[in-house]
Amino acid sequence: MAQLDLESVFRSLDTDRANMVWKWKLQEELQQSGLRGDDPRIERALNWTLSNGTPFQPGQPEWLDLEQFRMVAREPVIYRALQGELAVPAAEFAELSRGIEQIYADLQDERSGEVAQYIPTLRNADPDRFGIAICTADGQVYQVGDAELGFSVQSTSKPFSYAMALEQSGAEDVHRWVGQEQSGGTFNDPRLSLDAAGKPQNPMINAGAMATLALVEPESDVSERFAKVEQTWAKMMGSQPGFDHRTFLAERDTGHGNRGLANLMAAKDMLKVDPRDRDAPQKTAEFYFAVCSLEVDARRLAAAGATLANGGVAPYTGERVFSQETAGRVLSVMGHSGMYNDSGKFSGLVGLPAKSGVSGNVMMVVPEKRLAVVTFSPRLDEAGNSVRGVEVCRRLVNDFGLHPYKGLGAERAREAVTAGRLALDGVARAGGAAARPAGTESAARAALSSGGQRSTGPEIS
């Protein structure tokens, strides 16, 4: 990669030809790449640089000279943006943003589904709320609608609880306590959640999530264990999660089925708890309720998803939160069990790893593009997935050719088209049938016919 000529970039942004670049002008340039003006990395670099220069009068527009501009560009994400080397190039990101805005507009009138009914905070949610956010591995963000409205994360906590258990105990030990297969039933079905040995089928159902959380800091007090979970979420999102106390209390008061599953696992020695503590299964269930009650929003949850898309490295801190192996394992299980009892159907439609929560959120990870998409819309289908959320994922994948299997052979088809055209050109130049090798024209036309299929939507390449 050629080194960026910062002076040339500085001159291009110095539209007043005054040997300085307005702060707002640089921020505008970075926003064109998908980096928000309130990105903590950009704010930190600008504030530090400007605070060490000549003071500005209150209300005076701030600007950077060439040396200050060079200092700001030492922030890696700013340098990559100016270089045009972010996870998603600026032109692609703009196209993707326009596509999401159109999908959002098209789904405004979608009113099918019902909000979750089992606790008041979910039952009383405004069913018309709707937001979409994307975040890339570099922290490029686009959002529309209610993307900063808080909601309890619910089951979308499960992939990250699984990741924390993998990091602390390793895959071999984790899968002594929880399996890796689809359950074949709903997320809380007591008949299908556990196998004959009392082992949960996978980490994406309630029993499996409780089993994985039992492996997170198991020797510590519950307050320290919960602090560890909060710290992990803060690293991924770049800010602290909130906590929905009312949801937690309601979950605790109504979660008898989950407590029953925890007791069943403990009875079969398939829950890593202190056997001398008869209340240990209930405590495990309540720890699970607390983690499900973490409050996030679509924008911040997208940053957590981008951490998985980036092989475990958080977008805003650059910190490795999970190993590449852990991120890969989590995405694999999300791919086959992340969307409740419609996981197989969703996989056929979308083909990408995703996880949903009954508060109305859906998080889809696009590893090829190193980004995550999160939707929030409380109306759910019969499987418990957001109706709008599933449709956003389906539309996005179809419109931008992101399904990992439906485009197989496309490159070979393009090669066939090219070969067919070259063959026809050769026939034309040869001047007639006498010069044509047997079957050349028919073969060329067949190649054009079979290879000429194209997606009607835009593609991100």
Higher pLDDT, 302 or 415: 302
Considering the segment(s) 102-399 as one domain, its CATH architecture is 3-Layer(aba) Sandwich (3.40)
CB 310 within 8 A of CB 369: no
Q: Check whether 443 has a pLDDT greater than 60.
A: no
258 is in an annotated binding site: yes
pLDDT at 407: 72
Give the separation between CA 105 and CA 103, rounded to whole angstroms. 5
251 is in an annotated binding site: yes
Q: Which amino acid would we find at residue 8?
A: S
- Tokens describing residue 24: 């707002």
Give the separation between CA 460 and CA 157, rounded to whole angstroms. 29
- Fold that domain 6-83 belongs to in CATH: Recoverin; domain 1 (1.10.238)
CB 235 within 8 A of CB 317: yes
Q: Check whether 411 has a pLDDT greater than 60.
A: no
Residue extent(s) of CATH 3.40.710.10 domains in the chain: 102-399
19 is in an annotated binding site: no
Higher pLDDT, 414 or 227: 227
340 is in an annotated binding site: yes
Task: List, for residues 180-218, the tens digit of each pLDDT value.
Answer: 988 655 555 655 578 888 899 999 999 999 999 999 999
Give the separation between CA 266 and CA 261, rounded to whole angstroms. 9
Task: List, for residues 421-439, the tens digit of each pLDDT value.
Answer: 665 566 555 555 444 444 4
In this structure, the number of other CB atoms found within 10 A of the CB of residue 304 comes to 29
Q: Taking CA 300 as the corner, what is the angle to CA 179 and CA 46, rounded to the nearest 5 degrees?
A: 135
**How close are the terminal C-alpha atoms of the chain, in Å?**
20
Higher pLDDT, 443 or 248: 248
- Name the pTM for this structure: 0.86
Question: At 416, is the pLDDT very low, low, confident or very high (cuts 50, 70, 90)?
Answer: low
Residue extent(s) of CATH 1.10.238 domains in the chain: 6-83
316 is in an annotated binding site: no
pLDDT at 71: 96
> What is the mean pLDDT of the segment spanning 129-142?
98
Give the separation between CA 217 and CA 165, rounded to whole angstroms. 9
Give the separation between CA 34 and CA 85, rounded to whole angstroms. 12
Q: Check whether 368 has a pLDDT greater than 60.
A: yes
Phi-psi region of 217 (alpha: psi -120 to 50; beta: other; left: phi over 0): left
pLDDT at 439: 46
Exposed / middle / buried, residue 126 (Cβ in 10 Å: 0-12, 13-18, 19+): exposed
In this structure, the number of other CB atoms found within 10 A of the CB of residue 20 comes to 18
Rounded to the nearest 5 percent, the helix, strand and coil shares of the chain are: 50, 10, 40
310 is in an annotated binding site: no
> What is the mean pLDDT of the segment spanning 273-284?
92
H-type helices in 60-219, by residue range? 66-72, 76-83, 90-106, 120-123, 158-169, 171-177, 206-213
7 is in an annotated binding site: no
> What is the mean pLDDT of the segment spanning 330-357?
95
